[in-house]
Structure 1
């Protein structure tokens, strides 16, 4: 009994040993584990393929936004264009109103009396004889009608004994005070005037003294300033006087008077001192038209 038991024990041991040796068998399939590696490689490839449609699906998403921005930009551009058009239309309407407004308030120059009044207004502000063409342009009237109106206005002043005299000087017309009332004008302007001449008056007087007879435009060209007021002062002081008109321009010519020589203690203009230290630039007058 002992031997069979031993045999059974050996068989059991061998069976156990056989069973233990069989355990490596399942380990053999573990060798294909490298074959399982391609599976993970394919697995990432599949997500990439899946990711591509996802990206494609995400890309169209911004397209509506871009469309919206484009639409918004177009809307803004259209709105700005509409605003600018409206502003331009408003400005055009406003400018038309501005142009029409004065026209409705201008005097009707078809009436002779109104035309005469308009001519008087212009003649009062001119510094030199105003030509008929210049007056016609300012009043938008035919030259012939302006000429006839000036002649009628001058005749009316004379017939009524007015203190204003409208004279034709050269190619233009200018208002003067009538000679009949000159003593009163002189009294008003000269009485109480004992003040010394200003530097501007002295410079103007020097130009006239050395280059007489000379027009006020040439004197102004030398001095570089307007001399109308100074000329009037010198005339009222009796230091200069009118002496005809320039044949080229029609401007009034001025010269010094006897009173000028008396005040300076000179017997004639030949006694005037040399011009260089007093008026070095006076030769430029000859080049002034």
Structure 2
């Protein structure tokens, strides 16, 4: 056979050759072992000829000078888009996870790490209710050490008991002291409660405390204190006009003793206003200024004539 006939036969075989994946499947039957082995061991000449031929390579054209950079940027563009998509997926919070930079309280979700270290503190237990005997004893103990009248609200807060329960117990204690005839009594003064000695034993108490020393106020101080008590708030000029003398030195003495204090300024003149203090009520045994005795019984009968004369 000549070379031309051989090339023609090879071309015909190549044209008639069908790839294995396109060949029709044979019917399901047990293959003959001998035939299968022979088919495997004896390849067809057409297959050998095709395998012997070198693969055909397509010509690859070199990219132009500006085309290579554009090609690399096109290849990098999907990678950049993919990385941006992954970054956005990581930045989006999962359901139930707080947003980064936002407090867990604002997000409405507690922090996972802080939840493990958070201490669970139990609510404070309410104070046990004291019996009547215990409450009475506690009130008496506190009243023995106070240096000024203490209100029912303060006592209730200290003992952690209702204020509406403390008031009746104080009334019972005061009534019990009076009925038993003790040398001291519990009474309300200056908006609070405090123990005081009884008036009938005042001479003995003065003898023990003063020991011959006199700390009484002068007549001028008593008059000035009375004007402040009944006219408060009042200025120095008004006090001086009522008394008819200068009262600056007496006012300073009363302020030093703690019986009078400043309480603002007058709107028109800007002068200081004065009023009595809690110590004044405590010394007189009064609860409020309204309990001061009226002045009408102590005024002279011709007070109107005297007022007209001064004008």
Q: Which has the higher helix share?
A: 1
TM-score, normalised by the number of residues in structure 2: 0.39
Higher relative contact order (CA 8 A, sep 6+): 1
State the TM-score, normalizing by the size of structure 1. 0.42
